[in-house]
Structure 1
Amino acid sequence: MNTFDVPAPLCPPAGLLSSPGRPAATPAQLVGDTPVLWVGEPFAAAGRGFWAKLEGHNPGGIKDRTALYMVRSARERGVLLPGARIVESTSGTLGLGLALAGTVFGHPISVVTDPGMEPMMGGLLTAHGAMVHTVSAPHPAGGWQQARREKVKELLARYPEAWCPDQYNNPDNVAAYRPLAHELIAQLGRIDALVVSVGTGGHSAGIASVLREHFPHLRVVGVDTCGSTIFGQPATTRLMRGLGSSIYPRNVAYHLFDEVHWVSAPEAVWAARTLARAHYATGGWSVGAVALVARWLARTSPAEERIVTVFPDGPQRYTGTVFDDAYCTAHQLLGHLPANGPDEITHPGEATVTRWTRCTSVTAPLGHEPAVPGRPAGARRLAEVAS
């Protein structure tokens, strides 16, 4: 039987704790106040470990937070009319969040995805009342992501009153995660390093900006996937979902990152499966990727440093991919034990990475225009994004 070396209970600052287990009058009240779990041995080295914020305890995952916030804000500003359709591109998790928001606020939901979405997710979205549109071919320059966005434009033209949250560029996507950061402060008291996956840029920017205000010396470690363009790598075919991008989301706050790690699909699968056996708490591609990096950071940092990462969702939707032996065998994802540490490059353009690699030079790519706080995306059509 595994044994776990768990640190002594923490004493959160007075007045910051929420009441646990409060009754919920609406499903929206089930979102937030998620637990943190100590991940030590046997996943981490002896005497080392990190804290994981388990966002899979939300009804649909971490993006329940931003879906509710973006929809509520758009209604308050009058750009989303009562009963109007909401249309968005998603690989799945935001779709579940929008289905939740549609139920709470009374909006029909149309989500645009591609054939790479996990099979279970399509069924869940349909069960929760969303209309699912699947694009059939990738965009020649922007891949599946840009193809989905082109389909969103088509649907917005079909439904004159429809509204698109535009999660890649909407500053409300960032603001939605400030409460999550405050929860972490209440739960942990002090945080020295944050390991966070990067896709649309919303939760990385929202959490890191608040934590940096409270802890000026916070080390922020971004985790991307091989084949993603976000941090200056060339776009290639990507198997992993939920992190990475083939466009430049304006919500990515490059100035907050001290370093970036790229992780490959086999490495993320190994970490996610190992977590499942060792700690019971696990998830999919993003969870595997951030856990691998947090594990390394815990081993190489001073023992007293408090490291936290965010697990965006749980394992349920990945039973047909990450946790399916036939799928993983077909994609050659099994039997790849990650190295003890990442490869190193001095700048993102030095080499095209295909396995776990670290870079401490983080700059915004050419053509990236940051989203402007206080000027949320209010138009019903998608903003133009460099592809």
Structure 2
Amino acid sequence: MRRHEENTPGTAVVHAHITDAIKAPDLVRLSPNTVLARFETLKVYAALGAVRTLRERGVIRPGQTLVDSSSGIYALALAMAAHRHGLRCHIVASTTVDATTRVQLEILGATIDQMPPSDDLRLDQERRVERVRELVAGRPDMHWMRQYHDAVHYAGYREFAALVAAALPGRELTVVGSVGTGSSTGGLVLPLRQHGLDARLVGVQPFGSVTFGSERFLDPEAIIAGIGSAIPFANVRHQLYDGLHWIDFRHAMAGSVALLRGHAVFAGLSTGAAHLAAQWEAARRPERTHLVIGADTGHRYAERAFARHREAPDPRTLKPHQITELADLRPPWSAMEWGRRPYSPGRPTGRI
């Protein structure tokens, strides 16, 4: 990792490309048993690992166009990976992709299709997937990266796992992070477990996501891009998760504001939600080290969330509704011991 708890002098590294400089997170201790892995953009690991692996397999070649659907941070990561490897990039962008991200994509040379404004997450995702299918059908030079479904996106996180194992030695680690496509949390925990670490995995979901059965709820303020889904994702391996937290917008905002106020860390809403969940988990299991995955910075949430910081409740006053069945799930915050069980999104939400 670039930073450690003791600021010892080190040798400066000159990187060949910006992706090498930003892919590894900074580690920040939040409490005696909680550490934040703070990324500028987490999905650089996924994009670099996937592109490198696909090139090694001969699936993609220099000059080819990579295409995928994204709500933001994967789009930028894929554009940077394409820039590094001499590839073209086309993004079918969610309605949630902001102007700052879009202009970076354009300058990096990516071409963009952005979906029209919509408050319907399912409609937005279905439109994006349909558009990608149209593009690939008409352009044989395009390779669909399929970040939601191709397990190649797990590959890059092995490097992150090695860094975590070296920086946080010990055998009792709890990883707390947003589920999203599944590859970041799954790609981290799988190699940790394969190397014999006691790695507990706690996933964070928004209400309204089909991934872990909360699709019957609507969070009208939800703008937590990338942590849930209105359609099933094959890269989510439900049996990897030990626990789940479903968290609404206001609680995620409370976690993000508390992180900035208490630790001077400006991170996105998915990080805020994971921070809130990790605080609760760490209090219940103080003997374990809890690693919070901070996927991105807070810049794209500045106006819609951080500007409302006076509305954010004090996290110390919040606690989840503890459930044992999905039928008992309810906003604004629910927590459940998942127990590494399989699950089929879209099935009736009863006992599992």
**Do both share a fold (TM > 0.5)?**
yes
Calculate the TM-score normalised by the size of structure 2. 0.87
Alpha-carbon deviations, 1:151-209, whole Å to 9, x = none? Answer: 11122233221011101111111121011111011111124211121000001111111
Q: Residues 335 and 135 from structure 1, CA distance in 2 versus in 1: closer, same or farther, beyond 3 angstroms?
A: same
Check if 1:275 corresponds to 2:259. yes
Q: Secondary structure at the match of 1:218?
A: strand
Counterpart of 2:116?
136
Counterpart of 2:213?
232
Counterpart of 1:322?
305
Q: Distance in 1 between matches of 2:105 and 2:216?
A: 28
Counterpart of 1:378?
none
Q: Residues 334 and 139 from structure 1, CA distance in 2 versus in 1: closer, same or farther, beyond 3 angstroms?
A: closer
Q: Secondary structure at the match of 2:311?
A: coil
Q: Distance in 1 between matches of 2:18 and 2:345?
A: 40
Structure 1 contact 230–247 (Cα < 8 Å) conserved: yes
Q: Distance in 1 between matches of 2:100 and 2:19?
A: 23
1:288 to 266, 272, 278: 272
Cα drift, residue 314 of structure 1: 1.5
**Higher strand fraction: Structure 1 or Structure 2?**
2
2:130 to 146, 150, 163: 150
Q: Distance in 1 between matches of 2:273 and 2:257?
A: 11
2:37 to 34, 49, 53: 53
Q: CA RMSD in A?
A: 2.6
Identity %: 28
Q: Distance in 2 between matches of 1:347 and 1:195?
A: 21
Check if 1:301 corresponds to 2:285. yes
Counterpart of 1:313?
296
Cα drift, residue 234 of structure 1: 1.8
Higher deviation after alignment, 277-286 or 231-240: 231-240
Counterpart of 1:88?
68
Q: Secondary structure at the match of 2:212?
A: coil
Q: Distance in 2 between matches of 1:160 and 1:134?
A: 21
Q: Distance in 1 between matches of 2:267 and 2:11?
A: 24
Calculate the TM-score normalised by the size of structure 1. 0.79
Cα drift, residue 147 of structure 1: 1.7
Q: Distance in 2 between matches of 1:139 and 1:365?
A: 27
Check if 1:341 corresponds to 2:332. no
**Higher helix fraction: Structure 1 or Structure 2?**
2
Query: Superposed, which structure 2 residues align to 1:346-385 within 5 Å?
Result: 346-348=324-326, 350-361=327-338, 363-366=341-344
1:185 to 165, 171, 176: 165
Counterpart of 1:107?
87
Check if 1:222 corresponds to 2:193. no
Q: Distance in 2 between matches of 1:90 and 1:35?
A: 25
Structure 2 contact 49–157 (Cα < 8 Å) conserved: no
Structure 2 contact 271–292 (Cα < 8 Å) conserved: no
Cα drift, residue 80 of structure 1: 1.6
Q: Residues 53 and 157 from structure 1, CA distance in 2 versus in 1: closer, same or farther, beyond 3 angstroms?
A: same
Alpha-carbon deviations, 1:259-285, whole Å to 9, x = none? Answer: 100111111111112211221113112
Q: Secondary structure at the match of 1:324?
A: helix
Higher deviation after alignment, 95-104 or 136-145: 136-145
Counterpart of 1:71?
51
Q: Distance in 2 between matches of 1:73 and 1:282?
A: 32
Structure 2 contact 42–295 (Cα < 8 Å) conserved: yes
Counterpart of 2:349?
none
Alpha-carbon deviations, 1:192-247, whole Å to 9, x = none? Answer: 21112100000111111122234553321111111111112225554310201112
Structure 1 contact 88–166 (Cα < 8 Å) conserved: yes
Counterpart of 1:174?
154
Structure 2 contact 72–96 (Cα < 8 Å) conserved: no
Structure 1 contact 135–151 (Cα < 8 Å) conserved: no
Using CA pairs under 8 Å that are at least 6 residues apart, name the structure with larger relative contact order, 1 or 2: 1
- Count how many residue pairs are aligned between Structure 1 and Structure 2: 335
What amino acid sits opposite 2:321 in the alignment? D
Q: Secondary structure at the match of 1:110?
A: strand
Counterpart of 2:12?
21
Alpha-carbon deviations, 1:104-125, whole Å to 9, x = none? Answer: 1112211112222233222222
Q: Distance in 1 between matches of 2:334 and 2:12?
A: 41
Counterpart of 2:97?
117
Q: Residues 209 and 242 from structure 1, CA distance in 2 versus in 1: closer, same or farther, beyond 3 angstroms?
A: same
Alpha-carbon deviations, 1:317-342, whole Å to 9, x = none? Answer: 332333234xx8xxxx9344454321
Structure 1 contact 81–161 (Cα < 8 Å) conserved: no
Q: Residues 36 and 353 from structure 1, CA distance in 2 versus in 1: closer, same or farther, beyond 3 angstroms?
A: same
What amino acid sits opposite 2:87 in the alignment? H
Higher deviation after alignment, 152-161 or 165-174: 152-161
